[in-house]
Amino acid sequence: MSENTSLVQDAGLAALDRLVGTWKVTGGAEGTVTYRWLEGGHFLIQDIDLEQYGERITGIEVIGRERPFGAEQASADIKSRFYGNKGDTLDYVYELEGDVLTIWGGEKGSPAYMRSTFDEAGDVLAGAWVYPGGGGYETTSTRVAPADR
């Protein structure tokens, strides 16, 4: 586990440390994503550089528990917001149970989600995006560089 996650007493968020590093993405989107901890270990940052449907998609995603101004406690769900080069701001909920990562589009339980499974070594994450009405796609992410620790 990285130094930043050891500062956080949040087992659910700390479990996402297995994403830290650079991944080659293949399938319905192609390119690389890199996960890294923001100092303090409360937020995981994803840097995105992909091509999908002939368009380049770049952006960042901030992943963690929401704690709005004035709130005493953080959200129960691990939420994220993606900020993209096309002006998109997309919200997700991350859920990791054992080796299965589910990323819900919008809120937990949404009909739009990605469900992937880590291989035994933890260096391949394979699954699919599911969209209501079809149009989802299979995706595989393979770790190509470990985390800078």
Q: Is residue 33 part of a domain?
A: yes
pLDDT, position 49: 98
Cα separations in angstroms, 23 against 6, 41, 139: 23, 20, 12
CA 3/CA 64 separation, integer angstroms? 17
Instruction: Let me know if residue 116 belongs to a domain.
Output: yes
The pTM assigned to this predicted structure is 0.91
Q: Domain range spanning residue 58? A: 11-66+75-143
Residue 108 in tokens: 């937990």
Q: What is the dihedral of CA 105, 110, 113, 117, to 10 degrees?
A: 120
Q: Is residue 79 part of a domain?
A: yes
Report the alpha-carbon distance of residue 26 to residue 22 in Å, rounded: 13
Under DSSP, the state recorded for 38 is P
Number of domains the chain is built from = 1
Q: In this structure, is residue 99 part of a structural domain?
A: yes
Q: Is residue 149 part of a domain?
A: no
Domain annotation covers residue 6: no
Tell me how crowded residue 78 is: count the other CB atoms within 10 A of its CB: 23
Q: What is the CATH number of the domain that holds 81?
A: 2.40.128.20
Does 32 fall in a domain? Answer: yes
pLDDT attached to residue 3 = 57
Low-confidence ranges of the chain (pLDDT < 70): 1-9, 148-149
In a domain, 50, yes or no: yes
